Structure 1
Amino acid sequence: MFYYRYKADNARRTLRGIAQQVEKAENAVAGRVSVKRNRFVKLTGGDKTVNRDLEAKARALAGIKGYVTNLTDEPAEFVIDAYHRLFEVEKSFRMSKSDLRARPIYARVRDSIDAHLQVVIAALAVSRRVEDTTGLSIRKFVKTLRRYREIIINVDGHEIAAADTLTDDVAAVIEAIKQRAAAGH
């Protein structure tokens, strides 16, 4: 089963890219630049021409995205939404590799490997929760809050608390987290 969707914004970007590629093809045909790998240059024997048929086909399909599925009972919206959720899964894997520094470990004991994976998955779950709650990427969240500290100093048995003053945006982020926790989410 195939589903298709048109988006004007994607069409605008695609048409701009096609125009740039055709311009490069025209320069290659004119001999101003080397041919390299331009899909709009048609080589016939020793002749170089711009492939206008391929250009017309590409322009006609600009902005159309196809989705393939073997689910015959599901509506198009469900299939398209499922594809878009895949992008979120891919985003999570990219986040786990970069922001969470989830790199391969060289452990020989199965328990150590399992523990490492569980810590990474837990960190991923917390990170996604923070992103959903605050609307900030985890990288921006950590960067924003990293400079704020709260310490307790013990002087002759007396504890003194000290903390940095929070800016309005940081206070708003913390308040959003508190509200979500209070609501039981």
Structure 2
Amino acid sequence: MAYVRTVKTASGARAVQIVHSSRKGSRDIEHIGSAHDDVELELLKAAARQRLAVGQGELDLGLDAPPEVGGPLPITASRMGHLWDALSSVYDTLGFADAADGDDVFRQLVLARIIEPTSKLDSLRVLEEVGIASVSYRTLKRRLPGYAKDEWRERLAALCAYHVGLGPATLLLYDVTTLYFETDTGDGFRESGFSKERRLEPQITVGLLTDAAGFPLMVNAFEGNTAGTTTMLPTIKAFMAAHRLTDVVVVADAGMISEKNM
């Protein structure tokens, strides 16, 4: 690797050098000249850059020179195309687009939170940075009641189970976590409870069921003061009902197997 650098000399001048360095740590320094004012310095830097570019000819693309526009062209828009297209492809491959009846608002909310986990309102800011034209926050709030229905979640869960090839010998993993909220008062669902982060704010308890590779299959939310042991049976029963399973084998540690669960 080679680069141009400027160093001060003992006489107070500024020397322009080309430094050739290697991964092994060795360096070769090529002295271009010493400048005593800013004009000389810029001339020496230009000469150094020309020397670095020796043998690197300009590729002729056969294009006409652009007209003079009085400066660089303004950037009017930008888009994280590769990231958004990749996430959208996975979303479509799982069948979520069809399950959501082509609801672009749901797609935007899901993918924005994969890019940056944040609030519903702040998700609109994420979409703007990605370069996606999002809906208004008012429209987003109007759609939320539909997304909260059991039927909506069950359709997505069925697609996830189909994707992993759920069968009689499938190993599933289950655990719980908590999500806290920036508020001081509970509302009957968001309530203070046991927090692994030792927080006092109201929270909810989330139970997640995945396959052996960690792919999500079912998620349930419980009141924030719900003990983790009491979430296991409702989740297992809901999963069995959703996929018409007649029997399952449960292997769990003492933290989940309470006397009531037994």
Under TM normalisation by the shorter chain, which class is it?
under 0.3
The structure that has the greater radius of gyration is 2
Choose between structure 1 and 2 for higher RCO, CA contacts under 8 A separated by at least 6 residues: 1
